[in-house]
Every structure is written in C-alpha cells, then in structure tokens.
Amino acid sequence: MVIDFLGGLFSNDMGMDLGTANSLIYVKDKGIVLREPSVVAMDRDTGEIKAVGSKAKQMLGRTPANIIAVRPLRNGVIADFEVTHEMIKYFIKKVHSHKTLLRPRIVIGIPSDITGVERRAVIDAARQAGAREVDLLEEPMAAAMGADLPIAEPNASMVVDIGGGTTEVAVISLGGMVVAKSIDVAGDELTDCIIQYFRKKYNLVIGESTAENVKMSIGSVYPLKEEMKLEVKGRDQTQGLPRTLNVTSEEIRHALLEPFKLIVDVVKNTLEETPPELAADLVDRGLVLAGGGSLLRGITDLLRVETKLPVHRAADPLSCVAVGTGKRLEDLAEQGSNISSWWQKK
C-alpha cells in the first residue's frame, strides 16, 4: 500500500490509447510521448520478440519464414494476450526508460461495447506489464474529451471515432453516453476492400501496406474537386510475375463506398435512437469525427449530405483518445489530491 502510494508520487502516470492500428501514450505535463503502430514481430519457433511498433510494422508482409509480424489487437480488443502484454511492457519501458522500477497508474481507452472478460484482459495485461493501477475509459468518451467537446453540459455532443478495427458512435450529455453504438467496420476493412478490388478487377495481388497507401493517397468517399491517379505495383495472379498498373480515385471510391455505407448507417441509427431534446441540440452543434479513418477524403461532405447536420473533424483525430485518457488521468489525480487535503485537514 505504502509502496503503491510512493510509486504513485514519483512515477509518470499515463493515459494510453491501445488501438487496433496504433498505440499512443500521454504523460501529464508532457502530452503525447509515444505513438507507435500496434504491431509485434516475433520468432515463430521461440516466441522471442524481435521488434515492436514502427520497426515491426515495416516487417508486415516482408518477414522471412521464421519471423511473424502480428497485430495483437483485433477490433479494439485483445486477440493475443501474451503478445499484448509484451507490447504494453515495451511501450511503458520506452516511455519510462530511466525509471524502470516505478509502476505507473494507467488510464486505458477501451471500446464501448466490450465484454467483462475483455475488460479483465486489458486490466490484467496492463498490470502484468507493470501498471500499479488500471482505470478504463470508453473510447467515445475519451475521444470527446480529447476533442474538447463540452461533455459535462446538459446539451448533446456527438462523436464518431473511425479507427482501424472499430467505428464507435456516441451521443454524450451530462458526462455520460446517452446512446452508443459500435461496429467492426473501420479503416482496416476499407484497406481489405482495396485488396479485394485489385484481385477481382485486375487479377493483381497487393499487400496490406500497398493497399493502405492507395487508401491514404487517393482514397475518397465523395467526388473530389480534382480526381487523382496512382501507380500501383503487385503480383499478377495468373502469371505470378510483378506488374504495375495505373488506377484512378474514382474507381477506388467505388470500391470503398460499399463498406463505408455501413459506417453511415451506424451514424444514422444512433441519431434515430437519440432522445428528441438531444437530437435538437445536434442540429446546431453537429457531430465531430475522430480516429485515423476520419482522415479519408470526402468523409465530412458525405456525412453532411447523409445526416443533414454540420460535420467537423477534430483538430488532431489520431490523438483524441490518448489526449482524453490523459485528461481523465488529471481528473483522477485532482480527485486524489482533494481527498488527501481533506484527510490532512481532519
């Protein structure tokens, strides 16, 4: 108990966005100190960790037979417990390189619809990785806090967080989520659709990194002022040889619109379930987009047309959840110091 208390005094407590695609760590007074892909490369036979984060991501699809690069989280939840725990341990160590003995308190963002078992797994993985105390915060709440939405007010705020594995939509009022919905369709599904498109239409097999690059370079969900072209390299499925072809932003948009419709539907369903008083607030305030998936071209235009509401993208959509967990950490620290000053006065 005393050691925990002392550990808390000297350690850098942290907020963590443990995402399917990217993990971020926020430290009080420092801001975001770590931003790494949630990827681990390991020896297939011995399980020995070879690389974590960006180094491991570069290895995805390029590893020799004895090394595998894995994403230990799927759809925002832990798919591989051991590897997730090793990854968190590595991240904590990287942030606290000079203070390895101190155990931090960690606030972690989690999807809003995860099960009790999945919550427990996040807590256990973080504890085994060295956390002294673990607090969980629903990602839409964290995203809203990180985007500076006035969540404590009795007015509605709406956030749509399009990540790698999940899209989470929530209407928040008086500090709580009034309606929350989540689907397993987000940025990674859009990348998969591009892989399928090339295979079906051109008999061209492309890797995940290439497909993600196509999505980021020319991907869109609404007509662009100036349409774009891109040269794409892959392996011809029939001849087995490398091949290059040119594609346009229009054809990639057609490939993306079908899965994206599922994201539009979940936004609309959330609005349908929003109580009328709060729905009325949203007419003026609109909704705020967060998550890396919200960087896709034309999203604000498409959602504006589909919902007839104002649509804004958060200033730094990739960081909102991590910043929100950091804010929660600061709130908890404040509550703690209020309690301790109350205790001292007694």
Ligand X SMILES: Nc1ncnc2c1ncn2[C@@H]1O[C@H](COP(=O)(O)OP(=O)(O)OP(=O)(O)O)[C@@H](O)[C@H]1O
Q: Which residues bind Mg ion (CB under 5 A)?
A: 19, 163
**Which residues, in sequence order, are CB contacts of 40 under 8 Å at separation 6+?**
49, 51, 52, 56, 69, 70, 71, 72, 83, 86, 87
187 binds, among ligand X, Mg ion, none (CB under 5 to 8 A by kind): ligand X
SS3 247: strand
Minimum CB–partner distance for residue 291 and ligand X (Å): 4
Note whether 96 binds ligand X by CB under 6 A.
no
Alpha-carbon distance of 291 to 307, in angstroms, equals: 19
SS3 150: coil
- Residue 18 or 171: the one with the smaller Cβ distance to ligand X is 18
22 binds, among Mg ion, ligand X, none (CB under 5 to 8 A by kind): ligand X
Cα–chain center distance at 233: 28
Residues 124-163 vs ligand X: string with x where CB under 6 A? ---------------------------------------x
Residue numbers 298-337 binding ligand X by CB under 6 A? 318
Minimum CB–partner distance for residue 47 and ligand X (Å): 24
For the chain, the helix, strand and coil percentages under 3-state DSSP, each to the nearest 5: 45, 25, 30
Chosen residue from 22, 112, 155, 274 binding ligand X by CB under 6 A: 22
Q: Which of 187, 179, 197 is nearest to 287 (CA)?
A: 179
Minimum CB–partner distance for residue 10 and ligand X (Å): 30
Pairing of strands 242-248, 229-236: antiparallel
- Residue 13 or 17: the one with the smaller Cβ distance to ligand X is 17
Note whether 104 binds ligand X by CB under 6 A.
no
Q: Which of 96, 259, 90, 287 is nearest to 183 (CA)?
A: 259
* 296: exposed, middle or buried (Cβ count in 10 Å: 0-12, 13-18, 19+): buried
- Residue 7 or 292: the one with the smaller Cβ distance to ligand X is 292
Alpha-carbon distance of 185 to 196, in angstroms, equals: 15
Minimum CB–partner distance for residue 18 and Mg ion (Å): 9
- Residue 179 or 320: the one with the smaller Cβ distance to ligand X is 320
Using CB under 6 A, list all residues that contact ligand X: 17, 19-22, 76, 163-166, 186-188, 191, 212, 215-216, 219, 291-293, 295-296, 318
